[in-house]
């Protein structure tokens, strides 16, 4: 069950309480390059990003935030380090939320108080972001635990179990991250400011999990989940799915970002896939495809990838299956809204559990997309299946024999 948090408003998006878990991302452009930044945010909006953060390292980046905000449709968050003047200008520009780590602000609490006063005046929310990297994590105590050796009575040197040492180190680090976050919150509360959410990020999945769990036992402020510096598309997606997935399954988390060393648009489908897998959001396509195997009789990999690509911008919840043969194909296809079950260069198309028709492989894409479009609202249907149908041919007629480079067997 989802943990009950207090709810805050970031522009017109609610975070926490019973609001849906919000999917967000961060731009990779130089924010002062307004055209590129706005174009990237529009691409993020297209794939379902609900909140966007931009880096504000210099005053040139802060002074254009108002213009960026006027040209986009989702709430804008300014990411500020060190210089409180940047946060004050960002708030003055009308951003919806400021993300700061009070621990690295010049003049610490005094600067935070100035920012809080401005945020209260303008109705701006705040994310308090504590990163494990910004805590002097490997302090002496943790290091000692890591390398500790003990001289036993029999004269043998006994080393601390490295796994146990790492566990203690993690525990210690997550304690310190949470203590910092609670301390910063208390500074805000002393000024009667509560429009706060909190992130406790770490590139270590286990440290992040420990910190978020601990925080959620001690406070009801909403949590922004993320594994920082998670990695490239594959490694980052896996780390985020594991870390965020475990927390979300425990009911922890009110907004998420999947951080990838990739175009930010690629983060959004991964985030929705995590949420769909846990039945926390049902936006867009629930896609089922088989991995293919030695029984496959169509080019399932190519067809599946092409169908998924064509449906990337669909927001209406819909379940689509692309399966390679008759073993599991009909079962999965029947359970989907639209399904394709392949077999010997042909495929059976299912719609809402009923067989619609059998089509040759060069019509798979056209047939699947046409059926999907028939279940979507008009604007999305047009995007998926334009007038005149789908021109490109999917599949290479890869029969089992051809796939194995064998002569076609006469049966």
Interface residue with ligand SF4 among 178, 323, 348, 368 (CB under 6 A) is: 323
Report yes or no: 156 and 80 within 8 Å, Cβ to Cβ. no
The DSSP secondary structure of 209-275, one letter per residue, reads HHHHHHHHHH--S-BEE-BTT--SHHHHHHHHHHHHHHHHHTT--SEE----SS-GGGHHHHHHHHH
The whole-angstrom separation of Cα 256 and Cα 268 is 10
Comparison of 238 and 327: residue with beta carbon closer to ligand SF4? 327
Nearest-approach distance from CB 304 to ligand SF4, in angstroms: 10
Q: Which of residues 248-307 bind ligand SF4 (CB under 6 A)?
A: 290-293, 295-296
Q: Which stretch binds ligand SF4 (CB under 6 A): 7-15, 20-28, 237-245, 325-333?
A: 325-333
What lies within 8 Å, CB to CB, of 313 at 6+ separation is 46, 47, 380, 383
Interface residue with ligand SF4 among 129, 226, 243, 324 (CB under 6 A) is: 324
Binding of ligand SF4 by 329 (CB under 6 A):
yes
Nearest-approach distance from CB 297 to ligand SF4, in angstroms: 7
Per-residue CA distances from 154 to 147, 149, 151, 157, 160 (Å): 20, 14, 8, 9, 17
Nearest-approach distance from CB 367 to ligand SF4, in angstroms: 18
What lies within 8 Å, CB to CB, of 228 at 6+ separation is 131, 133, 201, 202, 203, 208, 259
Nearest to 222 by CA among 50, 18, 17, 22: 17
What lies within 8 Å, CB to CB, of 114 at 6+ separation is 84, 88
Nearest-approach distance from CB 22 to ligand SF4, in angstroms: 35
Binding of ligand SF4 by 404 (CB under 6 A):
no
Q: Which stretch binds ligand SF4 (CB under 6 A): 33-41, 207-215, 275-283, 321-329?
A: 321-329
Nearest-approach distance from CB 375 to ligand SF4, in angstroms: 23
Binding of ligand SF4 by 321 (CB under 6 A):
no
The DSSP secondary structure of 143-178, one letter per residue, reads HHHHH-EEE-TTS-EEEPPHHHHHHHHHHHHHHHHH
Interface residue with ligand SF4 among 28, 160, 316, 328 (CB under 6 A) is: 328
| x-marked contacts with ligand SF4 along 353-382 as a string, rule CB under 6 A | ------------------------------
Nearest-approach distance from CB 329 to ligand SF4, in angstroms: 5
Point out which residues pair with 318 in neighbouring strands: 285
Nearest-approach distance from CB 326 to ligand SF4, in angstroms: 7
Comparison of 193 and 350: residue with beta carbon closer to ligand SF4? 350
Q: By the criterion CB under 6 A, which residues form the site for ligand SF4? A: 290-293, 295-296, 323-325, 327-329
């Amino acid at each position: 069950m989802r943990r009950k948090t207090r709810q805050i408003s970031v522009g017109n998006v609610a975070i926490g309480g019973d609001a849906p878990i919000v999917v967000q991302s961060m731009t990779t452009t130089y924010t002062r390059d307004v055209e590129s930044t706005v174009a990237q945010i529009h691409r993020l909006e297209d794939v379902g990003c609900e909140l966007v953060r931009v880096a504000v390292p210099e005053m040139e980046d802060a002074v254009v935030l108002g213009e960026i905000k006027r040209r986009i449709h989702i709430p804008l968050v300014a990411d500020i380090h060190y210089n409180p003047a940047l946060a004050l200008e960002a708030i003055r520009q009308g951003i919806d939320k400021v993300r700061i780590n009070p621990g690295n602000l010049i003049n610490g609490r005094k600067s935070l108080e100035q920012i809080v006063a401005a945020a209260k005046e303008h109705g701006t929310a705040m994310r308090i972001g504590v990163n494990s990297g910004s805590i002097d994590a490997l302090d002496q105590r943790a290091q000692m635990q890591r390398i500790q050796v003990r001289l036993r009575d029999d004269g043998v040197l006994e080393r601390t179990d490295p796994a146990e040492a790492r566990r203690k180190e993690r525990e210690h680090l997550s304690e310190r991250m949470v203590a910092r976050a609670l301390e910063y919150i208390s500074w805000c509360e002393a000024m009667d400011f509560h429009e706060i959410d909190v992130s406790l990020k770490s590139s270590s999945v286990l440290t992040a999990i420990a910190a978020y769990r601990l925080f959620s036992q001690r406070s009801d402020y909403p949590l922004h989940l993320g594994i920082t510096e998670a990695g490239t598309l594959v490694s980052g997606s896996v780390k985020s799915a594991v870390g965020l997935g475990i927390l979300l399954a425990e009911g922890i988390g009110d907004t998420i970002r999947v951080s990838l060393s990739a175009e930010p648009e690629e983060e959004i489908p991964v985030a929705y896939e995590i949420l769909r897998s846990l039945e926390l959001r049902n936006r867009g396509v629930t896609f089922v495809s088989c991995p293919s195997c030695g029984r496959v009789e169509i080019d399932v990999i190519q067809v599946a990838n092409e169908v998924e690509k064509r449906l990337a911008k669909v927001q209406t919840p819909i379940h689509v299956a692309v399966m390679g043969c008759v073993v599991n194909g009909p079962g999965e296809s029947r359970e989907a809204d639209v399904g394709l079950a392949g077999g010997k260069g042909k495929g059976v198309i299912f719609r809402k559990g009923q067989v619609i028709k059998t089509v040759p492989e060069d019509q798979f894409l056209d047939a699947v997309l046409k059926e999907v479009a028939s279940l979507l609202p008009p604007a999305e249907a047009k995007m998926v299946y334009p007038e005149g149908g789908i021109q490109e041919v999917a599949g290479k007629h890869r029969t089992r024999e051809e796939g194995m480079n064998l002569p076609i067997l006469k049966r």
